[in-house]
Chain A
Amino acid sequence: MSVRGTRIPPHLQLPIAGVTPPPTEKEGQRLFPTGNFRFYRPVYRDKTPPCNNACPTGEQIQKYLDFVKHERFLDGYLTILEDNPMPSVTGRVCYHPCETACNRAEHDEPIGIRSVERFLGDYGLALTENPIAGGLPALGGTTVAIAGSGPAGLACAYHLRRRGYSSVIFEALEKPGGMLRAGIPHWHLPEEILDAEIAKLLSLGGIEIRCGVRAGEDISWDELRGYPAAFLALGQDVGRRLPVDGIESRGVVGALEFLREAGLGRPVTVGRQVLVIGGGNTASDAARSAIRLGGGHATIVSLESETELLIVPEDLEQARDEGVAFAPNTALVRVLAEEGHVTGAVVCDAALAKDDAGNVVPRLVPGTEREVACDTIMIAIGQVQRLAWLPERLSDHGVITADEHGRVEGNVFVGGDVMRGPSMVVDALGDGKRAARDIDRLLTAQELMPEPDVEVMPYQGLNPAYFRHAPRMPIPLSPPERRRASQQVEVTLAYSREAAVAESDRCMSCGVCNGCDNCYIVCPDVSVLRDARENGHYSIRTTYCKGCLVCVQECPTGCLEKVPEMDFDDPADVVRMETAFAPYDGAHAEQSAFTKQLIEETIAEYDAARQAGKGQRTQRGGNGNAAFTPNGDSGVRS
């Protein structure tokens, strides 16, 4: 309990209307601790921005955008690396759930987070040495087995390395990268970028990749289980088959197999008239790669209508620009072949329907069958994984079942597509990160914990008046005629340094204090302190803050909030004044004694005057006299 401001120090005591220091001076604030005016207290409490919450790897996007804004690129790069080992990859191929969640979309347009991430990733790849290599813990001697070198496996290995574990990755193909190499075309993700990111990862030491080792064939379940811990990141690389007549003909290929051959640099041949069956991103990638390799036409045949297509909007737009044709609400009925080679297909009108279990059940319209000429058909209707080598109880319809921690059983964890079905690269990266954390917990005999709940900052919590409308920096693209011609021409290009800084400057820093000084400036009571850096930036002088909440209203990011004063239950926190607003302790008590004395003296004087001039009337009026009869019978005022 502190009792402050109740006594004027002697050197400041002046008899009447004392000149006291104003509250704008420190002495004055000590003198008048008006903190007791307050029934709400402003509190700095950072919330989770929606981008950060939406990112499966939990990248601290607000933080690195803030670094980029101040041109602190290395700090920004290091911030990404805390969560994501390969920003150059995700900066190119991520379907950016962060931008979808961005609050700025409600304001004008979402931030181009992916492009800034790519800028930072490429900045990091251009560094001559890996900036995190020096600060890693020494390897502890424990080696974890990882099946699959896709994004999930690489992320798991990376985060295990950051925690001091070695890992050995078993990759079925001849080169590492998993779907990053075998599923994503080079015009999306150039091979040299992927190679550089993997090389950067391997340079950390303690990560070994054994290519040509397929889990289930070259290494068994029991061998994997024999490691201190294992992480299954097998992906799903087996395309679903379509049960129609003629599907066995030459010229019918799985889109996934086609992308794998192309991605690994093997020779592939594509006809000039390509039908791609499917309505997802694989269909789009396959059709666009087919145009580049065959130079002909590609049509995406989908059960989905134009609006139902599962292709991300920007890919859809780019595919249209490149001349990909669309046949929505159409189904493949049978494949026409001559001498075993595809010559055409019969399609009909159809609609997408799903049964109770969520499986796709095409609803065909009889009588609308028509022939379409084509020489290649690619099937992109989903993918599975062969899991017969696993104990039967662990797999279900091509995915591995796991508990809420992603644990299969015992010391074996799973993540990526083989757990969740076809999903994003960044989902796999997030699974790898979580698996590394949980493996660490398991190996150090800690309990596995669910993800903590976070409070996400909504747009309504911001103060939009502080953010002027600024359009998103345009993301440069290669011209369609140029990129149609080659597998190697990147479609999406990078932000310049200036564009990356300008785009980061659009970030509204939702719910996170970014030190804008607004509270410091608007506080009418000099109660926001900038020198004591609570929360990294400011603190509230609670002895003096009157709780006017101007700072809360004017906080652009919403990181300041009002908390009822009574919720602070620490008695030591109480600033109690001896009087309400009396300048010093007991002023009024003394005043009352003084008043009494004054009255008595006046009465005595009056009586003495009456004694002296007996019979003479006083000069004062009757009312004046009546006021000086304190002990009269007029106790009840009228």
Chain B
Amino acid sequence: MYHELTVWSRGIIMDKEARDVSSCVATAARALGYHADNVSDYIDDPDRTNCLVRRYARFGDSPIVDRFVYENPCPDWVVLVEETIIKAVNFLRGTPERGGVLVINSKRDPEYLLKFLPDEMKAKLAKFVVVDAVGLAEQRGSSPWMFVRNLSELALDRMSTEGAEERLAIGLGIAAPLIGALVAATGVLPVDAVADVVADRDAMLRGVAHHTVVGFAGPAAETREAEKPQTDGTDAAAPTAAPAHAAR
């Protein structure tokens, strides 16, 4: 069992959210006894506002070999912190056919969002997950986005963009529901175990409960609204639930 998570976000103004998603997944995986890595982005320009940036996590039940390769070569979990990224880049490069779980933060219809994916990218998807993380996150002021809310907070966050210590708790704001939707849709990590490392546990559980999954079992896509935080195990390409604490 081995999974690679790439979180796509925008430099500085949304960097904290992306960092939190990958960090929580890696931390939870490690707590469960898996081998896990959480890598920051030095490929793109993380100090450029709005620039596309990535955060990587990977975990598995065997030691991680490519410790010097910080770009995930074959991400099977992809999270887009901001919806426009769906138009911006080929974020499914290296993803196995029908093996990808794509989580996008958007309140738009999945059909509308899928319009922007070319067929060759759709062919790599096992699940397309839409979660309105902005709506589900803890509302602070007019918006849970840090860059909308508070410039001084953003200035502090900017200091931790390049590997300094976190100044805010990990798993806040937009990140929490995104983690919830990701964990629920993939079904590999137990929700409770991940929730333990997420600062805003309630928002994360809201993300677990409220997201839309479009499954790509074959050529035809089917849509369902997540009622329970449980993935459908019928999809052969989707990772099946792994036994917790089974790594060692």
Q: Are A635 and B69 in contact (CB under 8 A)?
A: no
Q: Are B52 and A37 in contact (CB under 8 A)?
A: yes
Q: Are B87 and A566 in contact (CB under 8 A)?
A: yes
Q: Are A37 and B90 in contact (CB under 8 A)?
A: no
Interface assignment of B84: CB less than 8 Å from any CB of chain A: yes
Give min CB distance, B151 to chain A, whole Å. 16
Interface assignment of B67: CB less than 8 Å from any CB of chain A: yes
Count of interface residues, chain B, beta-carbon cutoff 8 Å:
40
Interface assignment of A631: CB less than 8 Å from any CB of chain B: yes
Q: Are A37 and B51 in contact (CB under 8 A)?
A: yes
**In the bound complex, CA of A596 to CA of B65 (Å):** 10
**In the bound complex, CA of A411 to CA of B241 (Å):** 75
The residue in chain A whose Cβ has the minimal distance to the Cβ of B60 is A635
On chain B, the residues within 8 Å of A637 by CB distance are 37, 67
Q: Which of A548, A569, A635 contacts B62 (CB 8 A)?
A: A635
Q: Are A595 and B116 in contact (CB under 8 A)?
A: no
The residue in chain A whose Cβ has the minimal distance to the Cβ of B45 is A581
Q: Tell me which of A183-191, A334-342, A570-578 binds B.
A: A570-578
The residue in chain B whose Cβ has the minimal distance to the Cβ of A634 is B63
Q: Are A565 and B84 in contact (CB under 8 A)?
A: yes
A residues with CB within 8 A of B: 1, 3, 34-39, 546-548, 564-566, 569, 571, 574-582, 588-589, 592, 595-596, 599, 630-637
Mask for B30-66, Cβ within 8 A of A = 1, else 0? 1000011100000111000011111000000011111
On chain B, the residues within 8 Å of A566 by CB distance are 83-84, 87, 106, 108
The residue in chain A whose Cβ has the minimal distance to the Cβ of B51 is A37
Q: Are B90 and A577 in contact (CB under 8 A)?
A: yes
Q: Are B112 and A36 in contact (CB under 8 A)?
A: no
- Other than the given A631-B65, A636-B30, 16 more pairs (CB < 8 A) read A3-B90, A36-B84, A39-B82, A546-B50, A547-B50, A571-B118, A576-B118, A577-B90, A578-B93, A580-B8, A580-B43, A580-B51, A580-B89, A581-B43, A592-B68, A635-B67
On chain B, the residues within 8 Å of A1 by CB distance are 118
Q: Are A38 and B84 in contact (CB under 8 A)?
A: yes
Q: Are B67 and A630 in contact (CB under 8 A)?
A: yes
**In the bound complex, CA of A34 to CA of B52 (Å):** 9
The residue in chain B whose Cβ has the minimal distance to the Cβ of A1 is B118
Give min CB distance, A578 to chain B, whole Å. 5
Q: Are B10 and A37 in contact (CB under 8 A)?
A: yes
**In the bound complex, CA of A178 to CA of B66 (Å):** 92
**In the bound complex, CA of A635 to CA of B62 (Å):** 8
Interface assignment of B167: CB less than 8 Å from any CB of chain A: no
Give min CB distance, B120 to chain A, whole Å. 10
| A580 and B53 in contact, given A592-B71, A595-B69, A633-B63 (Cβ under 8 angstroms) | yes
Q: Are A578 and B90 in contact (CB under 8 A)?
A: yes
Give min CB distance, A22 to chain B, whole Å. 15
**In the bound complex, CA of A34 to CA of B89 (Å):** 10
Our count of residue pairs bridging A and B at CB distance below 8 angstroms stands at 104
Q: Are A588 and B118 in contact (CB under 8 A)?
A: no
**In the bound complex, CA of A637 to CA of B44 (Å):** 23
The residue in chain B whose Cβ has the minimal distance to the Cβ of A573 is B87
B residues with CB within 8 A of A: 8, 10, 30, 35-37, 43-45, 50-54, 62-69, 71, 73, 82-85, 87-90, 93-94, 106, 108, 112, 115-116, 118
| A599 and B84 in contact, given A580-B53, A633-B63, A636-B36 (Cβ under 8 angstroms) | no
**In the bound complex, CA of A577 to CA of B118 (Å):** 13
Q: Are A576 and B54 in contact (CB under 8 A)?
A: no
On chain A, the residues within 8 Å of B89 by CB distance are 36, 576-580
Give min CB distance, B37 to chain A, whole Å. 7
The residue in chain A whose Cβ has the minimal distance to the Cβ of B33 is A636
Q: Are B64 and A574 in contact (CB under 8 A)?
A: no
On chain A, the residues within 8 Å of B93 by CB distance are 578-579
**In the bound complex, CA of A592 to CA of B94 (Å):** 13
| A599 and B115 in contact, given A566-B108, A579-B89, A580-B89 (Cβ under 8 angstroms) | no
On chain A, the residues within 8 Å of B8 by CB distance are 580
**In the bound complex, CA of A404 to CA of B112 (Å):** 39
Q: Are B65 and A630 in contact (CB under 8 A)?
A: yes
On chain B, the residues within 8 Å of A580 by CB distance are 8, 43-44, 51-54, 89
Q: Are A576 and B88 in contact (CB under 8 A)?
A: yes
**In the bound complex, CA of A38 to CA of B51 (Å):** 9
**In the bound complex, CA of A548 to CA of B65 (Å):** 41
Q: Are B35 and A635 in contact (CB under 8 A)?
A: yes
On chain A, the residues within 8 Å of B94 by CB distance are 589
Give min CB distance, A624 to chain B, whole Å. 15
On chain B, the residues within 8 Å of A564 by CB distance are 84
Give min CB distance, A389 to chain B, whole Å. 61
Give min CB distance, A187 to chain B, whole Å. 59
Q: Are A571 and B88 in contact (CB under 8 A)?
A: no
Give min CB distance, B6 to chain A, whole Å. 10
Q: Are B118 and A635 in contact (CB under 8 A)?
A: no
Among B53, B82, B87, B118, max chain A CB count under 10 A is at: B87
On chain B, the residues within 8 Å of A588 by CB distance are 43, 71
Return the 8 tightest CB-CB contacts between A and B, nearest first. A635-B63, A36-B88, A580-B52, A592-B69, A39-B84, A635-B35, A37-B50, A581-B44
On chain A, the residues within 8 Å of B67 by CB distance are 630, 635, 637
**In the bound complex, CA of A592 to CA of B65 (Å):** 12
**In the bound complex, CA of A595 to CA of B65 (Å):** 12
**In the bound complex, CA of A578 to CA of B35 (Å):** 30
Give min CB distance, B70 to chain A, whole Å. 8
Give min CB distance, B202 to chain A, whole Å. 28
On chain A, the residues within 8 Å of B10 by CB distance are 37, 39
Give min CB distance, B82 to chain A, whole Å. 6
| A565 and B36 in contact, given A38-B50, A579-B93 (Cβ under 8 angstroms) | no
Q: Are A589 and B73 in contact (CB under 8 A)?
A: yes
Give min CB distance, A625 to chain B, whole Å. 16
Sampled A-B contacts (22; CB under 8 Å): A36-B52, A36-B87, A38-B50, A38-B84, A39-B82, A564-B84, A569-B112, A569-B115, A571-B115, A575-B88, A576-B87, A576-B88, A576-B90, A579-B93, A580-B8, A581-B45, A588-B43, A630-B67, A631-B63, A635-B62, A635-B65, A637-B37
Give min CB distance, A41 to chain B, whole Å. 10
**In the bound complex, CA of A569 to CA of B114 (Å):** 11
Give min CB distance, B237 to chain A, whole Å. 22
**In the bound complex, CA of A565 to CA of B51 (Å):** 15
